[in-house]
Amino acid sequence: MRVIVGAGGTGGHLYPALALVEYIKEVEPDSQFLFVGTKDRLESEVVPQMGYDYIGLNVRGLVGNPIKKGIAALIFVKSIFSAKKIVKNFKPDIVIGFGGYPSASIVEAAARLGYKTMIHEQNSIIGLTNKILVKNVDRIVCCYDKAYESFPKEKTYKLGNPRASVIAKIEPKDIFKKYDLDPNKPLVTIVMGSLGSKSVNEKMIESLKAFENKDYQVLYVTGKPYYQQMEEQLGKLNDNIKLVPYIDDMPSVLKNTTLVVSRAGASTLAEITAVGIPSILIPSPYVVANHQEYNARELADNDAAMMILEADLNSKDFVNKVDEIINNQILQESMKKNAVALGKPNACQDIYQLIKEM
């Protein structure tokens, strides 16, 4: 199989694409892949490092004032001509876009040339790029009901996030020794993304001190930029609280965690539902179209998670919610069951079968 993948801008768009490509390579080892993205974003470094062919286009996001948006639109139109040359040279069986503006040009070019095309939407709210592409592509894959309801039913499939397939198969490592945790105590992991959140950290100071007297332990991920500051503000904590700047083995941590507190990005929720873990979600209010809140509501409305808006976050209510879940085994099991029901651990396999049908 010959596949062109348009993905990038953020890890939320890129890593699901890589997960699907890795699966296809496993099933069809002779497959050839070409990634197309930007010249200077995450994908331009990560993809070549993983050994895949990569071409960067001169593209920009449609953001900023009207003049900047106008310039970006002109650049997009120009980039389609370059993208058409790429498609004609590679002659793919299919071109798949994973959202984010880096995927727009190559998918649009392929559609205009009559090649098979597919887009993948990771969030509940459809991103601008996929809104632009929706009319011209052959198939659409999404993860949530809200997105499914917004797409044309005749060509849309709710098959989940390929990242979930990766997480579901990972054998967890022993994180208790690595992070100096007690294997006999329930574990609450609190993490606000790879870089952390300054605003949430500030609101968590009082909560972390309250956790010192609990029967469970807390692994708190500050984010690298805020670790030293959090250490200084909290002072000496007892062994119940472990402060770390970042986690490089999140799947293993999730699979050993009783309750996770996190943001509600698409990849994060794919991991949570793939593992089937109770969660308290604090969606970031700083993202486009507030899509994290809509993502979180999908889980909360299905009793797979509790949600706290960042504006409503306070120590008393937060600690009470953690206690409620940790001290109620029946609630934990119910949330696990509901999370697994939303998860799509076979997402890669199902998307691959759809590609083969096309």
The per-residue pLDDT for range 262-283, each reduced to its tens digit, is 999 988 999 999 999 999 999 9
The mean pLDDT value of the chain amounts to 91
Q: What is the pLDDT of residue 165?
A: 86
Q: What is the pLDDT of residue 62?
A: 59
CATH topology of domain 169-342: Rossmann fold (3.40.50)
Q: What is the pLDDT of residue 186?
A: 97
The Cα–Cα gap between 186 and 111 comes to 51
Domain ranges in the chain are 2-160+345-357, 169-342
Give DSSP secondary structure letters for 124-162: SSPPHHHHHHTTT-SEEEESSHHHHHHS-GGGEEE---H
Q: How confident is the model at residue 289 (pLDDT cuts 50, 70, 90)?
A: confident
For 98-119, write each residue's pLDDT tens digit.
987 778 899 999 999 999 999 9
Res 71 pLDDT > 80: no
Give the residue from 39, 35, 40, 29 showing the smallest Cα distance to 15.
35
**φ and ψ at residue 168, rounded to 5 degrees:** -60, -30
Give the residue from 344, 350, 349, 358 showing the smallest Cα distance to 95.
358
Res 236 pLDDT > 90: no
Q: What is the pLDDT of residue 255?
A: 93
Res 26 pLDDT > 90: yes
Q: Let me know if the fold of 2-160+345-357 is the same as that of 169-342.
A: yes
Q: What is the pLDDT of residue 72?
A: 64
- Which of helix, strand or coil describes residue 14? helix
* Residue 173, C-beta contacts closer than 8 angstroms, at least 6 positions apart: 249, 252
Q: What is the pLDDT of residue 195?
A: 79
Is 112 exposed, middle or buried, given 0-12, 13-18 or 19+ CB atoms closer than 10 A? middle
User: 2-160+345-357 in CATH: which number?
Assistant: 3.40.50.2000
More confident residue, 248 or 3: 3
The Cα–Cα gap between 1 and 342 comes to 30
Res 138 pLDDT > 80: yes
Q: How confident is the model at residue 287 (pLDDT cuts 50, 70, 90)?
A: confident
- Please compute Rg for the chain using Cα positions: 21
Neighbours of 65 (CB within 10 A): 7
